[in-house]
Chain A
Amino acid sequence: MSRLICVLMYTILRDMIGHVDADCFYVSAERVRYPHLRGMPVGVLGNHGACIIAKSYEMKAAGVPTGMPIWEATPICPQGVFVKRDFRWYEALSRKMLAIVQQASPRVEFYSIDEQFFSTTENTREFAGRLQTEILRQVGVPVSIGIAPTKTLAKLISDSSKPFGYEVLKSDSERLALLRDRPVTDVTGIARRSAKRLAEHGIHTCEEFANADRAFVRWLLTKRGEDLWWELNGTPVLPILVARPRHKFVSRGGSIGKASCDPQRVHAFVVRNIERLVEALAHYRICCDSLILTLLFTNEPERSLRSSLLGSRADFEALLEAAMHLLPRVWQPRSAYVHYMHVIADGLRPLTNRQRSLFEQSQLVDIKRKINNEMGRFALRSGATLPLVDVYGDAANEYDICDIYGKSCF
Chain B
Amino acid sequence: MSAVAVAAATTAGPRVKRGWKIWVGGALLGILALFMLVGPLISGYDPNATDLEARFAGPSAQHWLGTDDLGRDLFTRMAVGGRMTMLIALGAVALASAIAIPLGLLTGYLGGWVDLAVMRVVDLFFAIPTLLVAIGIVGLFGPSFSTTLLALGLAFWPFYARLVRSAVVGVRDLAYTDAARVIGAGPWRIIRKEIVPALLPLLIVQTTVLLGFAVLDEAGLGFLGLGVQPPDPSWGALLAQSRGFVLSHPWIGVIAGVPILLVVLGINIMADVLRDRLDPQGAST
**Does A pair with B?**
no
- A-contacting residues of B (Cβ < 8 Å)? none
